[in-house]
Amino acid sequence: MKVLVINCGSSSVKFKVFEMPEEVLVAEGNVEKLGEETGLFSYTKGTQQLFYRRPVDVKTHSEALSLIAKTLVDEKEGIIKDVKEIRGVGHRVVHGGEGFDRSVVLTEEVIKKIEEYQSLAPLHNPHNLSGIRAGVKLFPESLQVASFDTAFHTTIPPVAYLYAIPYEFYEKHRIRRYGFHGTSHRYVARRAAELMDKGKYDVNVITCHLGNGCSITAVRNGLSVDTSMGLTPLEGLVMGTRSGDIDPGVIFHLMDALGLSAKEVNDILNKKSGLLGISGVSNDFRNLLEKMEEDRVALAIDVYSYRIKKYIGAYIAVLGRVDAIIFTGGAGEKTPEVRERALSGLENFGIVLDNEKNYKNFAKEEEISTENSKVKVFVIPTNEELRIAFDTYQMAVQK
């Protein structure tokens, strides 16, 4: 059974097609720079049987999905003869609020619920909905499934998800910690359990998803019990362009002292802060590591790593017993400098990194702790799309 997984961002549409249940990737690609004068389309068929990257005139998510559908059935480039061969389409949806604790089949009622949560994720859910509407139109006979970034975190207890503000704001407006990157945290937590020969509900782990957006999750007995992102993806760790945790008073000070509007401050905290804000150079580790001799660049990396260490320490206290710490995401998988800084000084907690393994590892699934480390440390490349494909496949089989 072929399953298509769609991930619609603000200016891109990423996709992968899997043969299920074998979990074989048969095609993948990315339509980038939507809305710009010239877009870019990257496409790979099979294991490099065909690869290209070319400019395209694509302005909207709907046009991008049409291009993808056309490519998949192309006589030379495609992998199917008819769109009917795509039995399931899995859509990544960032915010599912309290309404969804797992992947669900898309219905009009579900779509309305996702629309309701747009105010909680205005930078993400509208684009996810665009992909859903285009997917339903282009693959009318396929089972359409929504997979929510927030779903894995619905097991977080009130003591962890409530903010210390008037309770009525939670009761009436559902203001609380929701958490994100749930599909990634769930995937690597389950994979770590397999690597340790344990059941998926028999492990306590700390999962660190480090990319341009970053979050860290405490997983007790296979379930999320605390996570660093909050009502929005702005809270928590220092990120590429997001500030992460900040004194709320800073916001009012910026507004009063500099005469900035709420929208301007929001733009600063989401798009001009984090690694970019401190370094003044870039939010991309590839650029930052080349300029480590510059004081602000080195400081940015140290602040970023220090915040990870603080959360790891906090989640050790939350969990009591920790079986493993897992690094995933672009920076987590490919930046040994961050892994070293984040774990240094934690040996008394039973966390001992093998730095030779650490610095040799580049996005490879591997244990990078020493043999005598009581807490295992893993690099596990995330595969959110495969997790979504698996959920979609299961629902298609049950239909």
255's torsion region: left (phi>0), alpha (psi -120 to 50) or beta? alpha
Q: What is the number of helices (H) and of strands (E) in the chain?
A: 15, 14
Kind and range of the H or E run holding 328: strand 324-328
Active site residue 149: yes
- Structure tokens, 395: 């629902």
Helices (H), the chain: 61-72, 108-116, 125-138, 158-161, 168-173, 182-195, 248-258, 262-271, 274-279, 285-289, 295-319, 329-334, 336-343, 355-360, 384-398
CB 219 within 8 A of CB 185: yes
**For residue 129, which phi and psi values (nearest 5 degrees)?**
-65, -35
Catalytic-labelled residue, pool 101, 149, 323, 354: 149
33: Cα separation from own chain's centroid = 20
- Report the C-alpha gap between 370 and 341 in whole angstroms: 16
User: Environment class of residue 123 by beta-carbon count within 10 Å: exposed (0-12), middle (13-18) or buried (19+)?
Assistant: middle
Q: Which residues of 271-283 are buried (b: 16+ CB within 10 A; e: fewer)?
A: eebbbbbbbebbb
Secondary structure of residue 145 in the 3-state scheme: strand
The catalytic residue positions are 149
